[in-house]
Amino acid sequence: EAGVAQSPRYKIIEKRQSVAFWCNPISGHATLYWYQQILGQGPKLLIQFQNNGVVDDSQLPKDRFSAERLKGVDSTLKIQPAKLEDSAVYLCASSLDRAVPRNGYTFGSGTRLTVV
């Protein structure tokens, strides 16, 4: 099966600019996750979708970050305006259902964001 697709792979922007990342999960996967991985740290969950509804966005900095999954398939994550501390790899993952599956999630290759 095709994996989780993410684009772009790399992005460099200046602080205060806006940026958007795109994720296409594995076909049929109802649950989609966005993680932020800062250099030297483990991934941190930003937001979790079940179909097109938000399940958990408690760690999403809502003053600058937003995410949507309008049709319950692909998703976009936006940052506006970006700050230097947003420099990180943004990982998208998907799973068949909401509960952590026995095989874990399937992760995309990530988007590496550098804010200068």
Partner 1 sequence: AQSVTQLGSHVSVSEGALVLLRCNYSSSVPPYLFWYVQYPNQGLQLLLKYTTGATLVKGINGFEAEFKKSETSFHLTKPSAHMSDAAEYFCAVSDVRGNQFYFGTGTSLTVIP
Q: Residues in the site for partner 1, rule: CB under 8 A? A: 4, 6, 9, 33, 40-45, 48, 55-56, 91, 93, 98-100, 102-105, 107-110, 112
Task: Tell me how far, at minimum, the Cβ of 13 lies from partner 1, in Å.
Answer: 19
Q: Which residue from 84, 92, 86 is spatially nearest to 109, judged by alpha carbons?
A: 92
Rounded Cα distance, 27 and 116, in Å: 35
19-32 burial, b if ≥16 CB within 10 A, otherwise e? Answer: bebebbbbeebbbb
| Residue placing its CB nearer to partner 1 in the complex, 29 or 110 | 110
| Residue placing its CB nearer to partner 1 in the complex, 19 or 91 | 91
Task: Tell me how far, at minimum, the Cβ of 26 lies from partner 1, in Å.
Answer: 13
